[in-house]
Amino acid sequence: MNTTETEPARVAAPGQRTVADLMSSPVVSTHSEVSLADAGRAMMAAGVGSVVVTGPPGVPVGILTERDMVRAIESSADPDQATVGAWMTAAPEVVPPDTPIDDALDRLAQHGYRHLPVVDDGALVGIVSMRDLMRVAQVRPAGEAAVDVPRGLKGVVVTETSIGDVRGTEGFFHYRQYSATELAEERSLEDIWALLFDGALPASTDESASFIGEAVARRDLPSGLERLLDDVAIGAAGSGPLDGLRTMLSAVGAAERMRPVYDLDPTQRRADALRLTAVTPTIVAALHRRARGERPITPRPDLGHAANYLWMCNGVEASPEIARAIEQYLILTVDHGFNASTFTARVIASTGADMAASVVGALGALSGPLHGGAPSRALDTLDAIGTPDRAPQWIRDAVERGERIMGFGHAVYRTDDPRSLLLRRIGQQLGGDRIDFAVAVERQIVDTLAELKPGRQLYPNVEFYAGVVMERCGLPPELFTPTFAVSRVIGWCANVLEQADDNRIIRPSARYVGPEPPQPVPAAP
């Protein structure tokens, strides 16, 4: 049986599909002392991609897959001499047959496995694979019977996109056909902006200048909204610019008479998208300054998007090193697969709503601490730890209290978050005591979490170093998530443009689990 600490499997609701409906049985099994060659022949004879390794009295102690066989061959192991026990994945996760499909899928994704032995009352009764589970994890076509999918739609493909993707097991993500981290190292934010909106990087300085000119011309706040901005900033002082940004972008959409994307041609939709993405940093900076009793600063057309944002926030032109660091952060966070806020934007866009409505909805999703609201909380973790030597005990105490360690772990990555790796390098280039402390604490946290949560891959995510870098560049914590929004609004709008180009309304179903209807309505008291 699995000896790692895992949450108990959930019990399926009445009528909910379980692994028992999909599992293969009987199971092809073997023992740890059997040779790889013999195990391989058993797999071939049965036409399966894995065998369960059992010990007395038939309880799973490991899994040997085709990938394990390939790994052994690449290591020049002699298949006639090497044993299954030396190459199997030991202590596999197991589930009972009444485990809901979504729970089984979540466990596979959490550990990076592809097969789950099914054990009932201590006996091996079947095996279920990722392929088996994903076969039924599809959004149902309209008018057909509902099909169970994982909770939170994890792993469910709901559309096709050419904007980008995240390959979590590899620690890689890309914008269109290019590595996102390479783009952050080699190109400007405006180039990536053009890539997401128009499908290609500018191929010449003239093309780049043309796109920049379009964006710069749309930076100013619409005339007549200055008083509303003052009211929002001063009336909601202390809440930070993110809440006010939702109100102001909605007001921009209304002031500019943005029409439903359903009624617009691609050129008009692109114009609305450019307007919202260009004006967002102006609004964030103005809200920030007015809340502090300072006058907003007019955008400068001679500065790049990131440098202009810093100028409007601080009233001081940032050094090239600082401006480039923030620009690279913005590039790294422009888009990141079908995350919660991007999905929200596309759901709203699928109804045909206007561009501003889609962005405002996405902002609401971003505001949650489990999505975009964590960079400042990661700094709180560093402050609470205080010194590197206190990190192991602090983490142990936090885990025992059941607390989540902000800045560590990710819903997709099962290895280092590539954004975190680049931001760490950026922070080290900028220097400072905080980055040195963060680097020292990172290893302590990773090692301690590996000890306390075996089988879980918990590495720093983008928020851990994002807060460190933004703080070093002169941005206070209340601007961390709004700065995230300054970049992510570009990705949201790109997704809205794509959704509108080939739209189908996103309308999933839910399973009712309340009291059995219909019941008599009680008389009024």
Range(s) of the chain covered by CATH 1.10.580.10:
165-506
Whether the per-residue pLDDT at 410 is higher than 90: the answer is no
Q: What is the pLDDT of residues 451-495, one digit of tens each?
A: 777 766 667 777 788 889 999 999 998 999 999 999 999 999 999
Is 410 one of the catalytic residues? yes
Task: Considering the candidates 93, 214, 463, 471, report the single residue annotated as catalytic.
Answer: 463
The CA distance from 464 to 462, in Å, is 6
What's the full length of the chain, in residues? 525
Instruction: Return the closest-CA partner of residue 29 out of 2, 67, 56.
Output: 56
Whether the per-residue pLDDT at 112 is higher than 70: the answer is no
CB neighbour list of residue 118: distance below 8 Å, 6 or more residues apart: 19, 20, 23, 25, 94, 95, 96, 97, 99, 124, 125, 126, 127, 128
CA-CA-CA-CA torsion sign (46, 51, 52, 54): positive
More confident residue, 369 or 140: 369
- List, in sequence order, every beta strand (DSSP E) within 150-223: 164-167, 172-175, 178-179
Most confident listed range (71-75, 110-114, 273-277): 273-277
More confident residue, 302 or 392: 302
Token representation of residue 390: 């206190």
Q: In the structure, what pLDDT confidence band is assigned to residue 450 with cuts at 50, 70 and 90?
A: confident
Residues 133, 22: contact at Cβ < 8 Å? Answer: yes
The CA distance from 450 to 195, in Å, is 39
Is 463 one of the catalytic residues? yes
Residues 411, 338: contact at Cβ < 8 Å? Answer: no
CATH of domain 165-506: 1.10.580.10
Range(s) of the chain covered by CATH 3.10.580.10:
19-136
The stretch 99-128 carries a mean pLDDT of 78
CB neighbours of residue 47 within 10 Å: 7
**Residue 409: strand, helix, or coil:** coil
Q: What is the pLDDT of residues 162-202, one digit of tens each?
A: 999 988 778 899 999 999 999 999 999 999 999 999 999 99
The CA distance from 146 to 155, in Å, is 17
CB neighbour list of residue 369: distance below 8 Å, 6 or more residues apart: 377, 406
The CA distance from 494 to 508, in Å, is 23
Give the pLDDT confidence score for residue 45 in this predicted structure: 82
Q: Which of 96-100, 338-342, 356-360 has the lowest mean pLDDT?
A: 96-100
In 3-state terms, the chain is what percent helix, strand and coil (to 5)? 50, 10, 40
Q: What is the pLDDT of residues 381-400, one digit of tens each?
A: 888 888 888 888 887 888 77
The CATH superfamily holding the domain 19-136 is CBS-domain (3.10.580.10)
Whether the per-residue pLDDT at 140 is higher than 50: the answer is no
Q: What is the pLDDT of residues 501-519, one digit of tens each?
A: 999 999 888 878 889 889 9
Task: Considering the candidates 410, 442, 471, 498, report the single residue annotated as catalytic.
Answer: 410
Give the pLDDT confidence score for residue 2 in this predicted structure: 35
Q: What is the pLDDT of residues 250-262, one digit of tens each?
A: 999 999 999 999 9
pTM: 0.71
CB neighbours of residue 471 within 10 Å: 21
Give the pLDDT confidence score for residue 142 in this predicted structure: 41
Q: In the structure, what pLDDT confidence band is assigned to residue 60 with cuts at 50, 70 and 90?
A: confident
